[in-house]
Structure 1
């Protein structure tokens, strides 16, 4: 069933300075425009443990594109490809390669959400519209954000079908086991030079977010590269959007590399939460997912820095999982190499043990690992 009770989801972050006038109940789905949705769906199923949920295409009366919907716990991915030449999806793929087009947000009232955001300055992507079938109705509306990324507001309280009208249940024989991914912890956007504050102000003014934390080039820098980042969050903490921009460095930063190959601003990575990062990462590695690695020396003094943890250090060391602590607890995190041919989007796996932060203590080791990959690609 499409209706997921995300209201039971208890995330550790609350942001009382945010206005929450929409309000946002959670992430409804992430839609990627891809060159071959059928093959991409197989990848996310086989490698990442997503389960088949719904399908739309020629067999459902959709003539211009095909979409496969995958789900794992509270995470939904929609993979869409064009069925004809020309058109919006083709242009998007030609410019950006495979990438995130839609970050869909679950709301009680999509019409109100559109009005609230557009009257505050958002550019409309599409006006509120109602989709109906025998299972009920879904109301959608959309606004533009950074680059060609859009937010679609999804109101599905009156719908009992598999995903939304226009889709049918997708039930193939092949259904690999899940890997323990639970929900989207945060979604990171990369924007151009001196654009971070502009988009942070957009989320504050247009959507009622407030800044949760910020990092400057002293926090996020190595010998060669640097970047700036601010984390915007809604009031209930279920939607967290870090926004990155490049900063001056001796060589080309990962943000500059992303913008060069993506041809503009876009979603850099999704952070997917798990309750057992050792089991999840072990399963992902066994399925062929490749992760960034840090030098063995990282683990020599990591417990001196972060203190006592519940996990044995050895499996964390073997898997390359990073550890950081804040005033509320600690977290465990690891980052994949780019999962696409272009060095653009990647995925973070995160397990929070009370921590509300984003791994500031790991930035130097992480970015040096990224630089080693950039050097191998010849883009540093």
Structure 2
């Protein structure tokens, strides 16, 4: 932790909390934290001397009747102000030696009303991915700008959770009362033509609202919750990867369309 913290600060990161220890009955965790955009922070953790669930202050939830099957966090998406995407992409490149996986422009992701731009930054083994969005000019307010207005500045738009069985995970979450964004039925009418052969039953995907897209040599399946706050800010993505570690433009556009539909229902479009 101390070495990592020293390196990123030397590379230009702003420190928030230097190396220190967190202690409870399960052992010791070393931690240090830096600032990024808005109120988002990144912490370095070393838990080799800790046998608890995660870090001190966390406990296992053993009371739930549902088994969702989450594996780990696949990626976390940040929304920043117009003109700041390149700055923060450069930050991850300079401070963490991240590289750019993909870049979507306002020509790639847009509707007749609004648009966004996005760069996906990743570490060397692709385990850590941070897409960074900024609003783009359009006829009306971008959904990214709506997030910035309600959140009071830049922040994490959504957290993507990886599963090995998205049909099971989605079914369990719906049974638990989780609400997801609605996908137009027409999306599934042309799905096979757009993505080709897949292992999943398209009618089941239609019923559950699961998106599919080709990316690289494989494909990925995704769906998105409605905002989990009382304002249109943070939401969650559920994702399953079938031979793909990328980001499909088709699903990126479908998500943009679905959020814009909800934005219109709120009267903010």
Corresponding residue number in structure 1 for 2:264: 375
**In the alignment, which of 248, 254, 259 is matched to residue 137 of structure 2?**
248
Query: Which residues in structure 2 correspond to 1:92-107 (within 5 Å)?
Result: none
**In the alignment, which of 85, 105, 109 is matched to residue 216 of structure 1?**
105
SS in 1 for 2:94: helix
Unaligned segments of structure 1, at least 5 residues? 1-109
**In the alignment, which of 204, 213, 221 is matched to residue 315 of structure 1?**
204
Q: Deviations over 1:10-52 (max 9, x none)?
A: xxxxxxxxxxxxxxxxxxxxxxxxxxxxxxxxxxxxxxxxxxx
Query: Which residues in structure 2 correspond to 1:259-274 (within 5 Å)?
Result: 259-274=148-163
Corresponding residue number in structure 2 for 1:350: 239
SS in 1 for 2:16: strand
CA distance 1:163–1:224, change in 2 (3 Å): same
CA contact (8 A) 1:179 1:283 kept: yes
Corresponding residue number in structure 2 for 1:125: 16
Corresponding residue number in structure 2 for 1:140: 31
CA contact (8 A) 1:228 1:245 kept: yes
CA contact (8 A) 2:29 2:50 kept: yes
Alignment pair present for 1:234 and 2:123: yes
Corresponding residue number in structure 2 for 1:149: 40
Task: Find the aligned partners of 1:222 and 1:210 in 2 and give their Cα distance.
Answer: 28
Aligned-residue offset at 1:364:
3.1
CA contact (8 A) 2:161 2:236 kept: yes
CA distance 1:164–1:347, change in 2 (3 Å): closer
Corresponding residue number in structure 2 for 1:42: none
Corresponding residue number in structure 2 for 1:56: none
Alignment pair present for 1:182 and 2:71: yes
Unaligned segments of structure 2, at least 5 residues? none
Aligned-residue offset at 1:336:
1.1
Q: Deviations over 1:31-86 (max 9, x none)?
A: xxxxxxxxxxxxxxxxxxxxxxxxxxxxxxxxxxxxxxxxxxxxxxxxxxxxxxxx
Aligned-residue offset at 1:153:
0.7
**In the alignment, which of 299, 302, 318 is matched to residue 188 of structure 2?**
299
Corresponding residue number in structure 2 for 1:275: 164
Task: Find the aligned partners of 1:134 and 1:373 in 2 and give their Cα distance.
Answer: 46
Query: Which residues in structure 2 correspond to 1:357-368 (within 5 Å)?
Result: 357-368=246-257
CA contact (8 A) 1:136 1:160 kept: yes
Task: Find the aligned partners of 1:142 and 1:263 in 2 and give their Cα distance.
Answer: 22
CA RMSD of aligned residues (A): 1.6
Task: Find the aligned partners of 1:275 and 1:171 in 2 and give their Cα distance.
Answer: 21
Greater mean deviation of Cα atoms: 195-204 or 174-183: 174-183
SS in 2 for 1:156: strand
Aligned-residue offset at 1:300:
1.3
Aligned-residue offset at 1:171:
6.8
Task: Find the aligned partners of 1:353 and 1:163 in 2 and give their Cα distance.
Answer: 28
Q: TM-score, normalised by structure 1?
A: 0.68
**In the alignment, which of 270, 284, 299 is matched to residue 173 of structure 2?**
284
Task: Find the aligned partners of 1:225 and 1:279 in 2 and give their Cα distance.
Answer: 34
The size of the alignment, in residue pairs, is 269
Q: TM-score, normalised by structure 2?
A: 0.95
